Structure 1
Amino acid sequence: MLSHLILNKLKFWNINQSDERINANGKRYVAFPPKVVVNQDYAVNVMDNNGLGKIRWTNDSAGYISYKKGTEATCIGVYENCYVVKDLMNSGSYSRSYAIIEKDLFTPIWGGVKPHLFACIRHLSHLPERWWLYD
């Protein structure tokens, strides 16, 4: 096992970055993005008999639910083919809500902070003047 890890330069748990779910030791582990963005305008009238469409559940009690393209939300989990989101702004009632919505309404933001040039320069400017010398 050790030679496999050292010689082949593999991680102990060799998981592809594109895997959305894995099974290990009889348990299922699911990956979900920290943030999602609405990729199309979506509106539904809850009072009609059309139901909620792509929205499986929401705690928003407004009669008209509308999400604008580009609205960002925090993803807190997955359920079947849906994201469980919070802080999703509903333009119908202007309230932030929790919801379970089908994945095809969102574009995932998998994250990772990329350092920007100005952030690096600002960080360097806070170092002591003689940081390279040891007293």
Structure 2
Amino acid sequence: MYSICGYPASKSRQNGDVFSSEFASYRGLSATNETYNELNLTSDFSIIIRFRKKNAISPIDGKKMNPLSPRGVSGGGIFSWPAGHELSNDWSLTRLVGIFHTYKERKGLMIGTSLLSVVTAVQLGAMKNYGGTE
């Protein structure tokens, strides 16, 4: 079970020089190996989460709800819930495992890059002196 957290574009507001938004989280199960294959992705580098807005339920009372659209949440964290705590609201139990980047509403999928892939790319870039300023 995974959760994606961030600030959806639909709740972005600007008042003069001040920008604000509303925090949102989305929870779903890992996609099947078949889904990874269809998208030509691997679980070594990507995290695919099944998420359909119409099936969303509130983590507070378990009742059906209409969540905010995840559009604009790109760059938000993907957190993994430990076995046995999938429905918990104790965020201290989670681990940051990835960065969210793509929402495929029609397919009911949220896709991100594993944190290990990001850290590896940053380290490799540092070793090769990429992206620095002089």
Establish whether TM, by shorter chain, passes 0.5. Answer: no
Comparing both structures, which one devotes a greater share of its residues to strand? 1
Q: State which structure, 1 or 2, has the greater radius of gyration over its C-alpha atoms.
A: 1
TM-score computed with the length of structure 1 as normaliser: 0.29
